[in-house]
Structure 1
Amino acid sequence: MRIAGRRPMTALRDAARWSDERLPPGVRSVVGLLLMVGGVLGFLPVLGFWMLPLGLALVALDIPVLRRRLLNWLERAGADREEAG
């Protein structure tokens, strides 16, 4: 399954890296919360359920314990995909 021509884990990892480098922590949390609200309303035509995991990832980047786990998980998932493909 691909999202916009990319695998979901790759898109999530790239979005997490981009937001980690370019968005300040407070803004990242607000954007993450807005994405989660949009993900809950994913049955509507404009919004989508893809917004929920992305929002969770952005909020997790601002919580030190979750940040470490998220970044490690994304790196492991990326390494596993590179080995398999």
Structure 2
Amino acid sequence: MRFGMDPKSGKLALGSWDIPMPRSRVGRIAIGTGLITGGTLGFLPILGFWMLPLGIIVLSHDLHFVRRRRRRATIWWQRRRQKPNG
């Protein structure tokens, strides 16, 4: 499974899906910010909490502090999943 921005094609890879993204940095930041804003309103119909992680993935391509936080969360999640029960 692939997740994140593909630097060669400029598309957002979500598993087997490839979503085209704007080539401009400002466009990607606007889309990421919009997704996070819409995700905070996830209790409304149509909008959903699924937009939060998607916005973070989009923003992590251009903003180093978001990328750092996303990597830390990914490492934490992987270690948590690999921890033996007992």
Flag the 1:47–1:65 CA change in 2: closer, same or farther, 3 A.
Answer: closer
When the two chains are superposed, the root-mean-square deviation of aligned CA atoms in Å is 2.9
Question: Is 1:51 the counterpart of 2:36 in the alignment?
Answer: no
CA distance in 2, matches of 1:66, 1:25: 18
| Bigger helix share | 1
2:72 corresponds to: 72
Aligned to 2:80, the other structure's residue is in SS state helix
CA distance in 2, matches of 1:76, 1:54: 18
CA distance in 2, matches of 1:84, 1:38: 37
Structure number with greater CO (CA < 8 Å, separation at least 6) is 1
Deviation at 1:81, TM superposition (A): 0.8
CA distance in 1, matches of 2:33, 2:5: 16
Q: Runs of 4 or more off by more than 2 Å in structure 1?
A: 17-31, 82-85
Flag the structure with larger Rg: 2
Deviation at 1:67, TM superposition (A): 1.3
| Bigger strand share | 2
Say if 1:60 and 1:66, in contact at 8 Å, map to a contact too: yes
Deviation at 1:25, TM superposition (A): 7.0
CA distance in 2, matches of 1:66, 1:81: 22
1:63 corresponds to: 63
Flag the 1:31–1:84 CA change in 2: closer, same or farther, 3 A.
Answer: farther
Question: Is 1:20 the counterpart of 2:5 in the alignment?
Answer: yes
TM-score by length of 2: 0.53
